[in-house]
Structure formats: C-alpha cells, structure tokens
Amino acid sequence: MTDPLSAHVAQAAWSLVRRAETWRAGATGGRRPLFARGPLFHVPAGGPGPGVTRPVALTVDDGPDPRWTPRLLDVLDAHGVRATFFVIGERAARHPELLRRLLAAGHTIGNHTYGHPQPFAALPTALLREEIRRTQHVVSEETGFTPTFFRAPAGGWSRTVLGAVRDQGLVPVDWSVDPKDWRPPPAARIARIVASARHGDIVLCHDGGGDRSGTIAALDTALGRLLRRGTVFAPL
C-alpha cells in the first residue's frame, strides 16, 4: 500500500478491530481473536483451560530517551514490574547504553521501526522492510539480543505490513489499553486508564517523543493499585 489516504483508512479500520477485540476479550477471555493473522491485541493464553490467569503486559514505545527512560526504569524496579520496550532504531543507536540497561533489569525489547514514519502502511514495501531490518540490526549489534516482537507506529497495520513483519520472523503486537499518554493528558487520567487493565491486557505507554513526566507519575500510581489487586505482570 503506497497511497497515504488508503493507509489512513486502513489505520482507522484497525482501530475498530482493536475496539472489537477488546470487547470480545471480556466476553470470551480473549481466546478467539477476530483475525488469526492480525497483530496481538492481548497476551496469548498460556494454558488449556478457561480458568488460566494471563498476566498484564506493560509495553512502552518511542524510546529510549536519556531523560525519561531511566526514570521510568526506576519506577518499574520499585514495583518489581518488567515490561516490553518497543524502541525506535535511530534513538536506540544514539543511546545503546539504555538498551543494555533495559535488558539487564529483566525487561525485553521490541522493534518499533527505525525512524517512526507515519502513516507507516503508506510506505513502499521495500522501505517497510528496511525500517524493520535496521532496528533489528541496531539492537542485535549493540546488545546481542534479537527482538521477536514488532509494533507499527500508531498501529499502522495493513496486509503488506503484517506480511513484512512476519517475513522477518517477528510477531506483530498492538494493544488493548491506551491512556493516550503521548498527548499528554493529566497524570490522573493516565493512571485511571492504566489501572483499568484486566488479565491478558496489553497496556500502551510511552517513554519518548515528548514530556513523559505525567506517564512516569501515573505508572507509579497505577502499578501500585494493580499490584494491590493481585495483578500479575510479565513482558511479552
């Protein structure tokens, strides 16, 4: 897909799919996705029975950022929560020490393209593949770790994007809880939405691309609430 208008339409359609998947998760436990070949909207079921409890997966996009990522890591460490950080390749290349700190702390790293172009699905296929490949190379060269998960900028999926992701051996990941902290709204609103997460949800937050002080304060509050309710967290 190379038409920007078509890419925006596809992105809006995937937003509707995201809402439908979130509704279905409440009704079916998230075990029967609408599109088997689409991205993950929830943590996959790890056991055979309906009573198996799935963890919440906290995911963090757009870093690493030398101002906000270390502060967020301190909050996560204080709560004993491990997350999946979807990094932008060009930022990872500038701050490889943060990649190594993420992994040393028990977090995992996902691929969030090299330059975060939007609308992502409007790029020619060759550029889609290159955006993914370059970030894989940066992370692997700097850390020895090869990401297995990919998230498209702004959820910019299409059949071509999903094919390019899987051709490089990656699992496409979306989300089910989004506080839209990139805007950014007040910390109290971010905390309230994050704290609404249920078993199996994939929570989207950000540690780059702007002032993330509200996100950090909100996560400190929301993680405490969720842990007191017995929520289990795990990286993807």
Which residues are the active-site residues? 61, 206
Give backbone dihedrals phi and psi of 18, rounded to 5 degrees, phi first.
-60, -45
For tokens 């998960």, the residue is 149
What 3-state class would DSSP assign to 172? strand
Cα 25-170-233 angle, rounded to 5 deg:
45
Cα gap 12→15, rounded to integer Å: 5
C-beta separation of 135 from 87 below 8 A:
yes
C-beta separation of 129 from 167 below 8 A:
yes
